[in-house]
Structure 1
Amino acid sequence: MSQQSAARAYTREFGVAMAWYVIVVLGSISLVGGVGQPIKTLVTLAPLIPATFALFAYLRFVSRMDELGQRIQLEALAFGFGAAGMLTFAYGFLENAGFPQLSYIWVFPLMIALWGIGGAIAAYRYR
């Protein structure tokens, strides 16, 4: 599979997964208040289903990349994982100094943002 066709397939697969993610998030937000506790937990976790499909779309995309693309993704993920780890570690200490406590829900978006920065750095180095 060519790089262009792999990118098109990824865009399609990821886009469908994200569209379902938005629908499921909006649905779970509207339903969570009107259900009992066991169902509330399932409704709250429902967005993980389309998010998992998005993850598999990304994994298929990486497996279809050439070696350079895979190397760039590895370096980007290493940067994102390491930098997010250090930032959350540091902020954990700052919470002991009185900084406001943050929800864990912000860790993954931080990792995604830093992965993107790492990808830009790695792609720039290999151009």
Structure 2
Amino acid sequence: MYEKRIKTAYFREMLGSGLLYTVLLVVAVRIGRPMEPGMLRTLLLVSPMIGFGLMLWAIARHIGRVDEYMRRLLLESVSLGAGITAGLAVTYGFLENAGFPQLSMFWVWVVLCASTIVATVIRGVCRR
């Protein structure tokens, strides 16, 4: 029962912060990009980071709520995801030197999330 409650709380917090991020991102791109350079434009363009910060807060809260075994599994998966992301980033840096197109830094977060999910799934399958 406790596990279901903390899972529900985590999904609710992540969904809320993800929706806030998305709304702020759409507003920032639509309104902020065409604005004249200045402090207001800069603040508007970085405003989606509020939602991103809330996502990190939700993840930290979830890690604090789970038992020691799940905490260990989650942190190991995030560590593996970070290592995979670092390896891919360095590899792509060499590929850019070989003429591949430059990628936006926005891809780092996407790759980190995907790598963490892959690490979690593989580790879950291998433990069975």
Taking structure 1 as the reference length, what is the TM-score of the superposition? 0.92
1:28 CA drift (Å):
0.9
Give matches, 1:1-127, under 5 Å.
2-37=2-37, 38-127=39-128
For residues 115 and 34 of structure 2, the distance between their equivalents in structure 1, rounded to whole angstroms, comes to 37
For residues 45 and 6 of structure 2, the distance between their equivalents in structure 1, rounded to whole angstroms, comes to 33
Moved over 2 A (4+): 33-36, 122-127
Once the two structures are superposed, residues 50-85 of structure 1 have per-residue CA deviations (whole angstroms, 9 ceiling, x without a partner) of 111111011101111111211111121111100110
For residues 51 and 116 of structure 1, the distance between their equivalents in structure 2, rounded to whole angstroms, comes to 18
SS in 2 for 1:62: helix
For residues 41 and 111 of structure 2, the distance between their equivalents in structure 1, rounded to whole angstroms, comes to 27
**Matched residues, percent identical?**
31
For residues 118 and 76 of structure 1, the distance between their equivalents in structure 2, rounded to whole angstroms, comes to 5
For residues 34 and 47 of structure 2, the distance between their equivalents in structure 1, rounded to whole angstroms, comes to 15
1:126 CA drift (Å):
3.5
Contact persistence 2:25–2:48 (CA under 8 A): yes
Contact persistence 1:25–1:47 (CA under 8 A): yes
Q: Report which stretch shifted further, 59-68 or 30-39.
A: 30-39
SS in 2 for 1:44: helix
Taking structure 2 as the reference length, what is the TM-score of the superposition? 0.91
The number of aligned residues is: 127
